[in-house]
Structure 1
Amino acid sequence: MSTPERPALHRRLGTVDAVTIGLGSMMGAGVFVAFAPAAAAAASGLLIGLVMAAVVAYCNATSSARLAARYPQSGGTYVYARERLGAFWGYLAGWSFISGKSASCAAMALTVGYYLWPDWAHAVAVAAVVALTAVNYAGIQKSALLTRALVAVVLAVLAGVVVVVMGLGDVDAARLALRDDFSAGGVLQAAGLLFFAFAGYARIATLGEEVRDPAKTIPRAIPIALGITLVVYAAVAVAVLSELGSQTLASATAPLADAVRAAGYPAVEPVVRAGAAVAALGSLLALILGVSRTALAMARDGHLPTALAAVHPRFGSPHRADIAVGAIVAVVAAVVDVRSAIGFSSFAVLVYYAIANAAAFTLGRKVIPIAGMIGCLVLAFALPGPSVLAGVSVVLVGALAYRLTA
């Protein structure tokens, strides 16, 4: 008896589109959201935390790229772990990804609200989710084009911040120096929070079924996107830290806006705030893409309602999964706090990548997967206690649900 064919997504994305979606996923998180809580944890050790997060991200990106080349399907680590480790680990990876990235989506939506209209932040966040869900519903090509425009704007704004602060501000290299105000635990916690900013390259892997020549495109796009992001993050971190210092940065609600104001150019602040909103919108757009594609893959295998596996006959998008993910994110964005969302998301996504590294371990070349898996678990359990507790609880609920329904 033959297996009925599943509706396939359309392969429309090239390397530039894939890199752009990865950049769009990362840029809004790290620069505009994660630096302040990371500085509160690491104090003068912030840059060490950034390097540690980047090293773990590199290991994860390398493992993900190798797996994506072997399994060019929608679903990312859900598919890789299912194929290499078994159905349970694939399910747990998918569950962790959907849970963690739904929180990421809410954090990005709230960032839009807080930068554009603080008094109505939650309402703006919900409106942003609804609007971008509609864009995703209309198909991946439109999403990629919009993301490309958003990334271009964000990079221009970030370049302007670095030029204004480093070229014209009252920077002090002494503010970059290590003092006795940081601890190993604080640096690890900061690295875990900053990892939230690097996790966007997963979106490239989860779009494997929509990329042309995925065996070449995905392994090429992931390190390019990660490398560009690291360079940008490092430049911005050095600029803001040398202008504000770690103590002021730790308490900032809009660090880049505060930095250009401290540099003596308050007229630039509205541009930075607009750039922050655009960055968060770009991240939100690409994040919803990744979550809906993982939901599609899990629905195909019966781990989520099979209705979510439908592909729109005209737009070629997983339209029901898009709508379901958008609805969940809108509800979360209406009630959560941004920093809590970041902590929970970091834990769940680090678990997801720990499983990805375990899957890559079975392919050979074991040093990087081992380093990545250990790094993910260390950073996950170094996060703030409430984030760890919430993350462990959600993962255990997912594992129990699988056991009860398998």
Structure 2
Amino acid sequence: MIGFIQQLRRRTPLGWLQLSHEKGRFLVALSGIAFADVLMFMQLGFQNALFDSNTRLHASMQGDIMLVSPQARNLANMSTFPRRRLYQAMDIPGVKSAEAMYLNFLDWKNPQTHRETAVLVIGFNPDKQLFDLPEVNRHLDVIKLPDTVLFDSASRGDYTEVIAQIEQGKPVTTEIERRTITINGLFKVGASFIADGSLITSDQNFLRLFPRQQASSVSLGLIQLQPGYDPKQVANTLKSYLGKDVKVFTHDEFIAFERDYWQKNTAIGFIFSLGVTMGFLVGVIIVYQVLSTDVNAHMKEYATFKAMGYNNLYLLSVVFEEAVILAVLGFIPGAIVPLGLYHMTRNATNLPVYMTLARALTVLVLTMIMCLISGAIATRKLQSADPADMF
């Protein structure tokens, strides 16, 4: 039995033996790495929720090519362009249809709590299917009725009673700009960083809610192509044909346009990126302190190895071995804790904060790099030291 234990110890990595020898220091190191991982997971989760929540509506729109105003910055700031550009687009070979969509924000009274909150109102011709949302397409005849809208059941706020009543087939009334409207159907997109929810209605109802909005000025143009035509080629033709008072995007470019706005032109996108960087730097500092202390505590042992003929490469491998062990073991709790935090965030905000395999692999790679950088810094003294000076 004693021989087996000795053989097992000989096979146990030296880095593990050194780390586990000081259990208190080892646990502190793992806690620090886990904290850095949690910080990175949360910032990446918030950043991904920022992008996903603000592009879900774009993704649900049925259009191969989108037309927007040159002053448009994102969905919350679309501005308008002349509707005649849609008629002109029909002259281009390959264009099957060109439909107008109106978008604007207003405050409405929550039918359940009677509190005012901002919602995005979307209007379009109900004779056309412009959304890849079965719930909306089933209620196109409903929104033709005066002052009738569809409500996003995944909106942020307390709407449980309202949703239950509508699901039972009982319309709900509320007030918008001193105008009584009827909610007579549900769809599901979700809240975003720009609005707590959204309403979908006909273009005529939209113009009633926004009397200053002219029917000849539209927020968004959705162009569908005939089969066999390349959206990029048709988009290039439209750019040269329609003039400078519209911007032309393919569907993917339209989503990227919104994403780039939040990533590059807003403070919140920068803050989330900075948070990931700060988490990484915190981890580097914590792991460096642990490994540096470990190197100093075992300097005589390393001197003995050098005196016995072991080179710097072997000693470096021991420290890097410790770094890898810390990275892997610290990542485990660092990945488990965010699962609960993501769940709590989803319930509180209705934002799409989920753990993904890609994000887990990204943080794991960052953790490995973080620990290896710390190990490289911690071994500088070890590489330059002379065995004679260590005793």
TM-score category (smaller protein): under 0.3
The structure carrying a bigger strand percent of its residues is 2
TM-score by length of 2: 0.26
Structure scoring higher RCO (CA < 8 A, sep ≥ 6) equals 1
**Larger Rg belongs to:** 2
TM-score by length of 1: 0.25
The structure carrying a bigger helix percent of its residues is 1
